[in-house]
Amino acid sequence: MSTNYANAVELKNVTKRYNELVAVNNLNLTLSQGEIFGLLGPNGSGKSTTLKMLLGLVQPEEGSVHVLGIDAKKDPVAIKKLVGYAPEAPHLYEFLTGIEFLDFIGDIYGMHTEEKRSRINEYLKALQLEGREGDMISSYSEGMKQKVALISAFLHKPKLLILDEPLNALDPRTARIVKDFLQELKQQGVTTIMSTHILEIAQAVCDRIGIMYQGKLLALGNMEELRRMASMPSSGLEDIFLKLTGTGDIKAVVEELVK
């Protein structure tokens, strides 16, 4: 497929509806290579839907989606080959053992035996799954399952990582490793787009941040630009987020609950 593309991700006027519900509304987004992009937004704002459209898992009604220069509508399999995706729920085959599952993933992405072996062992060691890799996944804890899902996204050295709430259920140590690892990959030119609810991480890791609300991109930019947009010069991301998504009236809500 074409390797000479200007942008890693290009969404143009994308709209996705589920019946009457507009999940993503006229979205425009362009990511350049080697960027780490964070997608924030309240529950149900369309983050996961956007990420699924990048892989061609969900077809938009309007607009065009290009990933690594490939049209997501025309050749989703070509995109899937180049991309690493970690879904919201891990979706693992519970009857396989951790190692069998990763072996399966390696084969799916056409990795060579030796490469597969060394890579899997490295990741298992780094994410402290050693000693449990021979157990059936059905007996894993939530965090262990998430680790396996993440390893399967990283395993084949993708050029673009699409991570849907990647740090869900992870312990602090692993979260830190993943964070640093993403920075490391960025040096190698890997682009990352991830959705998250953990604002500190978005603030610390992401080059640019997009805030979604009811299917629309409310704000887009680096921390400085976001501060300016919310006209909150020295605030953290949490306050900006709450203000932009109109959920700043927390105090009133809490008072209502306490009553």
Partner 1 sequence: MNWKTIRDLIGVEMKAGRMLRGKRLIKYNTGRNRFFTYLEYGVAVAIGLAVGVLIGYFYNSAFPADIQSQFITVFANFQVSLPTLILVVTLVFTMMQQFQRSGTSFKNQAPYWLPVTWQEHTTASIFSDVLGIPLIAIAAIAPAIIAIAAFTGQLPLAIGASVAMCAAAFTAGATTEVFRILQVRFTGAVYKSSGKAAIWVRFASTLVFFVLFYIVYSYVIYGTGISNALQAVASVQSAAWFVPFVWVGVTLSYFASGMFIYGAVFLILSLLFILGLFYLCVSLNTRFGLYEPPAITVSSGVYAPKTGVLGKLGFAPVESALLRKDLKAFTRRRELISAFILPIVVIIIPIFSSFNTSTSSSSSAFPTQFGFAFTSLFPAAVMAMMLGNFMTGEEGQSIWRIYFSPISAKNYVKSKYAFMLFFAIIILPITSIVGFFIYHPALGTMFTLIAESVFVVFAVGALSLANGIKGADFNEVPRPRMIRAEWSIINLLTCGAAGLAVLAPLIPNVITDVTGIQFTFLALYQAVIISGVIAAVLTVIFYQVALSNAKELLTKAQV
- Give me the residues that bind ligand ATP (CB under 6 A), please: 18, 21, 23, 41, 43-49, 88
Say whether residue 103 binds partner 1 (CB under 8 A).
yes
Residue 96: contacted member of ligand ATP, Mg ion, partner 1, none (CB under 5 to 8 Å, by partner type): partner 1
Shortest Cβ distance from residue 58 to Mg ion (Å)? Answer: 12
Say whether residue 57 binds partner 1 (CB under 8 A).
yes
Cα distance between residue 57 and residue 259, in whole Å: 44
Nearest to partner 1 of 58, 240 (CB atom)? 58
Tell me if residue 249 falls in helix, strand or coil: coil
Q: Return the residue of 28, 64, 139, 222 that touches partner 1, per CB under 8 A.
A: 139
- The helix (run of H) or strand (run of E) holding residue 227 is helix 223-229
- Residue 13's alpha-carbon distances to 65, 222, 243, 247, in angstroms, are 9, 22, 25, 26
Say whether residue 148 binds partner 1 (CB under 8 A).
no
- The helix (run of H) or strand (run of E) holding residue 28 is strand 21-32
Q: Return the residue of 50, 97, 168, 245 that touches partner 1, per CB under 8 A.
A: 97
- The helix (run of H) or strand (run of E) holding residue 7 is strand 7-18
- Residue 158's alpha-carbon distances to 146, 168, 254, in angstroms, are 18, 21, 44
The tokens of 217 are what? 């991109």
Residue 38: contacted member of partner 1, ligand ATP, Mg ion, none (CB under 5 to 8 Å, by partner type): none
Residues lying near partner 1 in the complex (CB under 8 A) are found at 18, 52, 55-59, 76-78, 80-81, 85, 87, 89, 91-97, 99-100, 103-110, 113, 116-117, 120-121, 133-136, 138-139
